[in-house]
């Protein structure tokens, strides 16, 4: 009995000792008993292993294994802020595991999100996965991580303490895994247009910049122009055709839209759509760029054509950019670029300038029996080159002007029309001209006949030239203004030119007549000797005299000697005549000195007339005429007569002197007589006054006597 009891006691002791032995021998397996505040077991040595890590946009609270079939990898760059790091772990054991929880220790460039998934330290992020994981299956753990600005693109390493339980077993198991991950950097592509403006009606080489503003390189970049302002983007011809002739490409696209390769839509630039502003790319639409490094800028140069309807608008170029991100995944970016189309500049292709008409403002003539009529004009104004059009009123004038194609494009089927701005100015000639082909820098001279009435004198006018032409396959219109000035006519006529004696001195006299329709201002005249002519006298004789007058004599002249003489010995100064009114003669008289001994005959005379017009421009005309001069013989005979041996002139002078003396004596004597008479009258008055006074005294004396 005691033996059995002792045996039982010994068994109890042995069992207790065995349990103690087992307990202490298992202490290494329970080293993590209080790790993370809970009991864990490490009986199975086949722990889960690390498979992969990447950044994702899956919420950290999502514990479903969706990323295992189609992992959603995203790029994360330095300073990204709160991000989700997916760590993929595979169950390499033979049993199912569940209740997985991971504690990820973060490097210094990262921080955990406080309060998320029970996080209580800044360098440890916590994630859990509660679904049963079968042997050989993988599961994700999503850790919320704050990526700081001091992080750099590159690899990092961290420790993961994984706690989990085996199905149908009691306790938890803990294992430590090394988790490698990296900051991939981000690809951020941005586009902008470096072309300031597009010009309508011509090919424009645009420049579009694509810049990688991110921290990761973009690989395999391909840019494609997909749309321009909602219109169809059209490649006109193949590359070889485009290199040959761009203008032919435009024409071919307009004439045959089927030859264009349309990428999107159905409208091509050859269609006439008035509601849209067409713009198209020529040649390439797709550009293979390749690799764009971080902070690198590359450019593409599409060839764009904008029609005239797009002038003054903002067009939108839509780009589709495909590239490989940091994970090698194919990404597509849709971007838009704004392009400004310059307004259509008015009169940018055609210019107009006046052409010298070849007509004169002033006509001059002389009228002396139709002899020596010479017209000569010497204008001296500010428009010597005739850069403005002037029209003389009251007559039909030929107006010339030049139209120039100053552009770089050929104008086809140009139609020019001219219109008058006033009923007082009529176009009597052609008003419409056609130019089938107007090449660049070509000048076209145009002339027509116009008439301006006199009520338009001294007034500016402006003619309107309307132009319609085809350029770049489009019809365009321009309006040009052609300025002109209507001036009056000044036609000076000379008549009744002769030599008359005024006060015993010869004077050149005559009349000027303005046969025009406007006044000549500040008129001056100067006489000059005309071209020397052979002397012609009635008897072919010449005589000399001391006083410069001519006298016929019997001295013969030999015509064969070719004698020549000038009418004036000294040229007289110019004289101011005033304003020369239209249709009103203006007489003049110029004292002259005739050449001594000049015989009778016909002599040329030149008159220089200067005046100003309505614009105060100076004008000078030369009037050439001739006059008949007859020598005066009466004065010569009088000079040869004498009285009592005294010359006639001296005798006349003495008589005048004697008459003057006698007149002076008579005046003096008359004045003396008048003075004497005045003096006698005064004496008589005094005597009578004295007599009166004496009479009065006698009266006073008589009274005294009576009183006595």
Bridge pairing between strands 474-487 and 389-392: parallel
Cβ–Cβ under 8 Å, residues 56 and 67: yes
Stretches where the chain sits below pLDDT 50 are 1, 3, 6-7, 24-43, 230-275, 358-385, 532-563, 633-638, 698-700, 704-708
Res 14: pLDDT: 60
Burial (Cβ within 10 Å: 0-12, 13-18, ≥19) of residue 382: exposed
423 with 437: CB under 8 angstroms?
Answer: no
| Pair of tokens at residue 202 | 């011509």
pLDDT at 369: 42
**Do the Cβ atoms of 478 and 438 come closer than 8 Å?**
no
pLDDT digits (tens, 9 = 90+) for 276-302: 556 676 667 889 999 999 999 999 999
Give the pLDDT of residue 33.
38
525 sits in which H/E element: strand 520-529
Residue 524 exposure: Cα atoms within 13 Å on the Cβ side: 13
| Predicted local distance difference test score (pLDDT) of residue 4 | 52
Six-digit token string for 587:
């007489």
Alpha-carbon span 477 to 666, nearest angstrom: 100
Residue 562 has a pLDDT of: 36
Angle, alpha carbons 249-255-257 (nearest 5°): 80
Rg (CA), the chain: 63
Mapped onto helix, strand or coil, the DSSP state of residue 358 is coil
Backbone angles phi, psi at 574, to 5 degrees: -70, 150
Q: Is 459 helix (H, G, I), strand (E, B) or coil?
A: strand
Burial class (CB in 10 A: 0-12, 13-18, 19+), 367: middle
Q: How far apart are CA 319 and CA 267, in angstroms?
A: 19
Two tokens at 473? 């396959």
Question: Cα torsion for 318, 319, 325, 330, to the nearest 10°?
Answer: 100
**Fold entry, domain 189-340:** Immunoglobulin-like (2.60.40)
Contact at 8 Å (CB) between 72 and 88?
A: no
Q: Please report the sign of the dihedral spanned by the C-alpha atoms of residue 583, residue 589, residue 595, residue 596.
A: positive
Instruction: Give the separation between CA 101 and CA 569, rounded to whole angstroms.
Output: 136
Q: How far apart are the first and last CA of the chain?
A: 237
Tell me how far apart the alpha carbons of residues 98 and 542 are, in angstroms, rounded to a whole number.
Answer: 155
Determine the pLDDT at residue 652. Answer: 80
Burial classification of residue 262, based on how many CB atoms lie within 10 Å of its CB (0-12 exposed, 13-18 middle, 19 or more buried): middle
State phi, psi for 562 to the nearest 5 degrees.
Answer: 65, 40
CA-wise closest residue to 318 among 230, 195, 425, 450: 230
Are 434 and 469 in contact by the 8 Å Cβ rule? The answer is no
- Element (H or E) spanning 496, and its range? strand 490-502
pLDDT at residue 234, as a whole number: 35
CB 595 within 8 A of CB 567: yes
Q: pLDDT tens digits, residue range 410-455?
A: 888 999 999 998 888 999 999 999 999 988 889 999 999 999 998 8
Are the CB atoms for 85 and 72 separated by under 8 Å? no
- Mean pLDDT score of the chain: 74
Give the pLDDT score at 567: 82
Element (H, E) at 426: strand 425-427
* CATH for the stretch 31-183: 2.60.40.10
Confidence at residue 81, expressed as pLDDT on a 0 to 100 scale: 92
Domain covering 490-632 assigned CATH 3.40.50 in the classification: no
Q: Specify the pTM.
A: 0.45
> Residue 116 corresponds to which tokens in the numbers above?
């998320």
User: Which superfamily is assigned to 350-356+388-484 in CATH?
Assistant: Immunoglobulins (2.60.40.10)
Q: Are strands 505-514 and 459-471 parallel, antiparallel or unpaired?
A: unpaired
Structure tokens at 608: 């220089």
Q: Using CB atoms within 10 A of its CB, is residue 314 exposed (0-12), middle (13-18) or buried (19+)?
A: exposed
| Cβ atoms 575, 524 nearer than 8 A | yes
- Is there a contact between 393 and 456 (Cβ–Cβ < 8 Å)? yes
In this structure, the number of other CB atoms found within 10 A of the CB of residue 89 comes to 28
Distances in Å between the Cα of 250 and the Cα atoms of 254, 255, 408, 511 are 6, 9, 16, 73
Sign of CA pseudo-dihedral 7, 13, 16, 21: negative
């Amino acid at each position: 009995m005691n033996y059995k009891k002792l045996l039982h006691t010994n068994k109890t002791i042995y069992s207790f000792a065995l349990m103690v032995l087992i307990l202490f021998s298992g202490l290494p397996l329970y080293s993590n008993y209080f790790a993370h505040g809970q009991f864990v077991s490490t009986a199975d040595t086949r722990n889960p292993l690390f498979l992969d890590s990447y950044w994702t946009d899956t919420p950290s609270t999502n514990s479903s294994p969706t990323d295992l079939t189609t992992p959603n990898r995203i790029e994360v760059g330095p300073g990204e802020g709160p991000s989700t790091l997916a760590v993929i772990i595979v169950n390499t054991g033979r049993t199912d595991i569940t209740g997985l929880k991971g504690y990820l220790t973060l490097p210094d460039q990262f921080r955990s999100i406080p309060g998320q998934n029970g996080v209580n330290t800044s360098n440890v992020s916590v994630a859990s996965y509660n679904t049963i994981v079968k042997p050989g299956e993988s599961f994700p753990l999503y850790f919320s991580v704050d990526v700081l600005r001091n992080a750099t693109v590159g690899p990092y390493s961290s420790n993961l303490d994984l706690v989990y339980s085996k199905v149908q077993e009691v306790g938890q198991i803990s294992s430590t895994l090394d988790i490698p991950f990296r900051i991939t950097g981000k690809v951020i592509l941005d586009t902008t247009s470096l072309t300031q403006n597009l010009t309508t009606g011509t090919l424009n080489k645009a420049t579009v910049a694509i810049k990688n503003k991110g921290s990761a390189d973009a690989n395999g970049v391909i840019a494609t122009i997909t749309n321009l302002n909602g219109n169809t983007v059209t490649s006109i011809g193949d590359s070889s055709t485009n290199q040959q002739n761009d203008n032919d490409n435009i024409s071919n696209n307009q004439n045959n839209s089927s030859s264009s390769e349309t990428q999107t839509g159905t409208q091509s630039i050859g269609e006439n759509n008035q509601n849209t502003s067409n713009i198209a790319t020529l040649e390439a639409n797709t550009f293979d760029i390749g690799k764009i490094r971080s902070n690198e800028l590359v450019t593409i140069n599409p060839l764009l054509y904008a029609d005239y309807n797009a002038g003054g608008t903002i067009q939108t170029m839509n780009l589709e950019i495909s590239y490989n991100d940091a994970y090698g995944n194919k990404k597509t970016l849709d971007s838009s670029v704004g392009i400004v189309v310059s307004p259509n500049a008015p009169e940018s292709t055609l210019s107009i300038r006046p052409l010298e008409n070849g007509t004169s403002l002033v006509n001059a003539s002389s009228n002396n029996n139709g002899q020596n009529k010479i017209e000569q004009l010497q204008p001296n104004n500010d428009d010597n080159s005739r850069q403005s059009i002037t029209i003389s009123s009251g007559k039909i004038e030929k107006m010339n002007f030049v139209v120039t194609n100053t552009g770089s494009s050929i104008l086809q089927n140009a139609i020019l029309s001219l219109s008058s701005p006033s009923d007082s100015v009529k176009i009597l000639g052609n008003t419409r001209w056609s130019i089938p082909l107007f090449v660049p820098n070509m000048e076209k001279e145009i002339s027509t006949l116009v008439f301006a009435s006199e009520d338009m004198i001294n007034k500016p006018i402006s003619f309107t030239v309307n132009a319609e032409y085809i350029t770049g396959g489009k019809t365009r219109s321009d309006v040009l203004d052609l300025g002109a000035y209507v001036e009056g006519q000044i036609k000076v006529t000379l008549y009744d030119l002769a030599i008359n004696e005024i006060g015993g001195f010869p004077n050149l006299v005559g009349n000027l007549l303005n046969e025009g329709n406007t006044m000549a201002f500040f008129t001056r005249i100067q006489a000059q000797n005309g071209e020397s002519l052979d002397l012609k006298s009635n008897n072919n004789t010449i005589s000399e005299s001391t006083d410069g007058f001519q006298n016929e004599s019997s001295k013969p002249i030999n015509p064969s000697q070719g004698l020549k003489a000038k009418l004036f010995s000294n040229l007289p100064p110019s004289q101011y005549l005033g304003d020369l009114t239209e249709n009103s003669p203006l007489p003049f008289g110029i004292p002259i000195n005739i050449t001594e001994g000049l015989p009778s005959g016909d002599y040329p005379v030149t008159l220089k007339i200067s005046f100003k017009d309505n614009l105060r421009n100076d004008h000078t005309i030369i009037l050439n005429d001739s006059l008949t001069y007859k020598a005066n013989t009466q004065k010569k005979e009088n000079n040869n007569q004498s009285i009592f041996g005294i010359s006639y002139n001296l005798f006349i002078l003495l008589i005048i002197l004697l008459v003057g003396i006698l007149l002076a004596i008579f005046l003096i004597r008359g004045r003396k007589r008048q003075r004497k008479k005045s003096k006698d009258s005064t004496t008589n008055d005094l005597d009578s006054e004295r007599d009166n006074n004496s009479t009065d005294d006698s009266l006073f004396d008589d009274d005294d006597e009576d009183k006595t």
